[in-house]
Amino acid sequence: MKAAREAPVARRILLAPMEGLLDHYLRDTLTQVGGVDRCVSEFIRVTDRLLPVRTFHRAVPELHNGSRTRAGTPVRAQLLGSDPACLADNAAVLAGLGAEGIDLNFGCPARTVNRHRGGAVLLDEPDLLHAIVAAVRRAVPAGLPVSAKMRLGNLDEARMIECAQAIDTAGADELVVHARTKAQGYRPPAYWDRLALIREAVAVPVVANGEIWTVDDARRCLRESGCDAVMLGRGMVADPGLALALRDPGRAELAWPELLPHVADYWASLAADFPARHRAGRLKQWFDLLRRRHPEAQTAWDLIRTIEDPARVTELLFAGM
């Protein structure tokens, strides 16, 4: 009888940014839950100028705390743009502010970003990817990590290996790959097997990303890709205990009573910076994903779906805490 195949293990777990949702408020809350090795900030758009320091602090307030969340989880600042010299200059400023590292966005599929020559459309220009990574690498201290995130391509996978090799040979320390093209967006499935081809073609460590919602998904992803690290996005927003479960597959699923104090903490954190009229909308965005995994979140969603008054939301969801 053959021995059972040992389940692959994620040796590192990264938390992805999600523009407009998984920002510093939510990454602070999710890292309090635990299991995450490192976060990446929402992208900071760089065009043709040096950005003011306040822009970096607004996107990565953890710079005031040694580039770490309250839980002590490192946060890497992400830049998006197409001008190598300008990206390098801004990366140097971030390094001086104490950034944990610099991440470069070559994967964003948003039309508004792509229309202005940013994100995944750059995957049609491997030489430019190389120039950007090389310029940033030269601009920051040798010990400061420079990483990049890409997709399998823009409209297709034709230049997938060429892009990965361009990033690798330019001096990146790590490459995260979302296992879909820009054209495929976020539609299932993710093509994790393609990451195995990229891994064979580069020397830099490759991190798998895309369509990882459960422990079983992560195991299949690791097995098909051959990677030993994953980046979680929507899967961890929907199931904040996912990273912990990947660390310890025998662990019981994070129950709603354990999660609710973290949700309350997130809700309280929004009060400092969000106008009252926008606060409930941010919470509803999170509940929209949470209800995929937690029936209680569906109940909460139904309670507050039409409510905008923060005091009423607090009364309905958190009054007994």
Active site residues: 108
Contact 176, 145 (CB under 8 A): no
SS3 sequence of 57-84: HHHCHHHHHCCECCCCCEEEEEEECCCH
Show the CA angle centred on residue 225, arms to residues 223 and 231, nearest 5°.
Answer: 100
Cα gap 246→227, rounded to integer Å: 14
Cα gap 13→33, rounded to integer Å: 13
- What sign for the dihedral angle of Cα 279, 281, 285, 290? positive
Contact 278, 247 (CB under 8 A): no
Strand partners, 80: 45
Contact 154, 106 (CB under 8 A): no
Exposed, middle or buried by CB within 10 Å (0-12, 13-18, 19+), for 284?
middle
Token pair, residue 2, equals 């053959």
Half-sphere exposure of 252 (CA within 13 A, CB side): 5
Cα gap 24→279, rounded to integer Å: 15
